[in-house]
């Protein structure tokens, strides 16, 4: 009986390993963007679906960078400008390959776009409202070799640098920018609508009915000129309450809202580059989710939703550069341990926000 029990447990272990291999769902964007003297990383935990990334071996083959315990990382030099193939292989502890994937590391020139001008509009939720990653973008754009730039936006939190503004609000979803509206109180008819209650792109008509009007927004808040670049970092609030075992219905609905908002920008600003950031991964600590949500939401539940959302976003938006729709792999370069405080499940610390900003900046440099 002892031998049979051991054989049975061995079989269960093999089945668990096969199941893990099937569920890893190694997910990579087609391109990872980088720039000289700006660190860029691929964190192992962010590209696979598992509760225990430490149980696997990650090998990243690239002419640049180095493998570390939890990530592959690179800080390119000027001589590295160009495209470099990247191959990631995931193995179990015995060395058996379970998954593999390919991407391209694109290193842009340090002085790319320096003779240009760029008008940048940043949209998002509480991660944008924190204003740290917009500040990072501004700081990096202020380095020598960059274009003249200006940020468009009606929201300027106290933490914003003097040149930074945006349209990022806590708790917001893709659909909120399209539909969120509350009529102004009669005593405040001359002031702007409350930003937590009304989309900056929606204006009341004479009957106090909501009208989505990007051209008016550009006239009143952007000197009458559309932006050259619009970035979007959304998806957490949209999908956080989805069913972890079956998030696709909610994700399909959310992607529909995303398509509508992107279509409005394509119509009102047809030359603008629309940069969709891939929804960021969770804090690696379950304790952080317990601190925020007690037993209502778990780290593993959100990880499953977020990973599926990223895969669906890649399917939905990849290969649409001819429509001026671009993907930014903001989910790769965010440290799920050191990029988060110990007590917050989805909001990074300053270091994590800076990594998001570096991802947007490096993508932006690739456009020139």
| Dihedral of alpha carbons 135, 136, 138, 144, sign | positive
Domain count, the chain: 2
Of 73, 88, 108, the last residue of a domain is: 108
pLDDT-derived band at 118 (thresholds 50, 70, 90) equals: very high
pLDDT reading at 193 higher than 90: no
Nearest-angstrom CA–CA distance, 59 and 71: 10
pLDDT-derived band at 192 (thresholds 50, 70, 90) equals: low
Burial 73-106 (b: 16+ CB within 10 A, else e): bbbbeeebbeebebebebbeeeeeebbeeebebb
Of 176 and 190, which is predicted with more confidence?
A: 176
Say if residue 293 is in the same domain as residue 313.
yes
3-state secondary structure of 207: coil
Residue 14 maps to a domain? no
Note the pTM of the prediction, 2 decimals.
0.92
For 220-260, how does the pLDDT look when each residue is reduced to its tens digit (9 = 90+)? 999 999 999 999 999 999 999 999 999 999 999 999 999 99
């939720």: which residue's tokens?
125
Q: Tell me which residue range forms the domain holding 334.
A: 111-365
Instruction: Provide the mean pLDDT of the chain.
Output: 92
Say if residue 251 is in the same domain as residue 343.
yes
Say if residue 98 is in the same domain as residue 191.
no
Nearest-angstrom CA–CA distance, 341 and 323: 38
With 0-12 CB in 10 A as exposed, 13-18 as middle and 19+ as buried, what is 66?
exposed
Residue 233 maps to a domain? yes
81: domain CATH number is: 2.60.40.10
Quick one: pLDDT at residue 175?
Answer: 98
Nearest to 152 by CA among 167, 171, 130: 167
> Of 6-20, 61-75, 222-236, 348-362, where does mean pLDDT reach its minimum?
6-20
Nearest to 46 by CA among 322, 285, 343, 335: 335
Note the helical H segments in the chain: 2-23, 126-129, 132-141, 174-179, 214-221, 236-239, 248-268, 286-293, 299-317, 350-365
Say if residue 202 is in the same domain as residue 316.
yes
Q: How far is CA 222 from CA 120, 161, 203, in A?
A: 10, 18, 15
For 294-307, how does the pLDDT look when each residue is reduced to its tens digit (9 = 90+)? 989 999 999 999 99
Of 66, 86, 108, the last residue of a domain is: 108
The alpha carbon of 116 is separated from its chain's Cα centroid by a whole number of angstroms, namely 26
pLDDT reading at 12 higher than 50: no
Residue 8 maps to a domain? no
pLDDT-derived band at 185 (thresholds 50, 70, 90) equals: low
Residue 11 maps to a domain? no
173: domain CATH number is: 3.40.50.1110
Find the mean pLDDT for residues 5-14.
37
Find the mean pLDDT for residues 321-350.
98
Say if residue 51 is in the same domain as residue 118.
no
Residue 247 maps to a domain? yes
Say if residue 94 is in the same domain as residue 131.
no
Nearest-angstrom CA–CA distance, 197 and 269: 25
| Dihedral of alpha carbons 236, 338, 103, 77, sign | positive
Say if residue 200 is in the same domain as residue 176.
yes
- φ, ψ of residue 57 in degrees (nearest 5): -105, 125
Nearest to 47 by CA among 105, 97, 16, 88: 88
Say if residue 152 is in the same domain as residue 261.
yes
DSSP string for residues in 275-327: EEEPPPPPPS-HHHHHHHHTTSS-HHHHHHHHHHHHHHHHHHHTT-GGGTEEE
Say if residue 175 is in the same domain as residue 309.
yes
Quick one: pLDDT at residue 194?
Answer: 63
Residue 13 maps to a domain? no
Say if residue 299 is in the same domain as residue 330.
yes
Of 54, 86, 108, the last residue of a domain is: 108
- Token readout for 301 is 């539940």
3-state secondary structure of 86: strand
Say if residue 54 is in the same domain as residue 132.
no
Say if residue 149 is in the same domain as residue 74.
no
What is the number of helices (H) and of strands (E) in the chain? 10, 15
Residue 53 maps to a domain? yes
Of 266 and 182, which is predicted with more confidence?
A: 266
Q: How many residues does the chain have?
A: 368
Quick one: pLDDT at residue 187?
Answer: 44
Residue 140 maps to a domain? yes
Quick one: pLDDT at residue 271?
Answer: 97
For 204-222, how does the pLDDT look when each residue is reduced to its tens digit (9 = 90+)? 998 889 999 999 999 999 9
């Amino acid at each position: 009986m002892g031998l049979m029990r051991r054989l049975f447990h061995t079989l269960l272990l093999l089945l668990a390993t096969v199941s893990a291999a099937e569920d890893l769902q190694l997910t990579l964007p087609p391109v990872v963007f980088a720039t000289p003297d700006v660190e860029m990383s691929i964190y192992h935990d962010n590209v696979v679906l598992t509760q225990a990334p430490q149980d696997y071996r990650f090998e990243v083959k690239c002419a640049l960078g180095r493998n570390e315990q939890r990530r592959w990382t690179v800080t390119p030099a000027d001589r590295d400008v160009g495209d470099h193939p990247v191959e990631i292989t995931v193995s179990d502890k015995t060395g058996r390959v379970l998954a593999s994937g390919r991407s391209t590391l694109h290193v842009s020139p340090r002085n790319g776009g320096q003779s240009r001008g760029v008008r940048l509009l940043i949209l998002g939720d509480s991660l944008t409202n924190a204003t740290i990653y917009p500040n990072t973008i501004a700081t990096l754009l202020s380095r020598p070799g960059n274009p003249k730039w200006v940020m468009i936006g009606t929201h300027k939190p106290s933490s914003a640098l003097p040149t930074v503004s945006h349209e990022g609000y806590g708790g917001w979803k893709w659909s909120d920018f399209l539909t969120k509206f509350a009529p102004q109180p009669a005593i405040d008819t001359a002031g702007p609508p409350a930003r937590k209650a009304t989309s900056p792109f929606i204006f009341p008509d004479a009957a106090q009915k909501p009208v989505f009007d990007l051209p008016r927004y550009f006239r009143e808040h952007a000197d009458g000129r559309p932006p050259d670049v619009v970035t979007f970092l959304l998806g957490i609030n949209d999908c956080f309450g989805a069913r972890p075992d079956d998030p696709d219905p909610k994700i399909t609905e959310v992607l529909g809202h995303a398509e509508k908002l992107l279509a409005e920008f394509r119509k009102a600003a047809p030359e603008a580059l629309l940069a969709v950031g891939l929804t960021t991964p969770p804090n690696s600590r379950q304790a952080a989710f317990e601190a925020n949500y007690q037993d209502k939401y778990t780290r593993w539940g959100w990880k499953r939703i977020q990973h599926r959302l990223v895969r669906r976003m890649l399917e939905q938006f990849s290969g649409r550069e001819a429509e001026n729709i671009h993907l930014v792999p903001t989910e790769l370069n965010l440290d799920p341990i050191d990029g988060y405080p110990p007590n917050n499940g989805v909001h990074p610390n300053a270091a994590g926000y800076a990594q998001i900003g570096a991802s947007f900046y490096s993508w932006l440099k690739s456009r020139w």
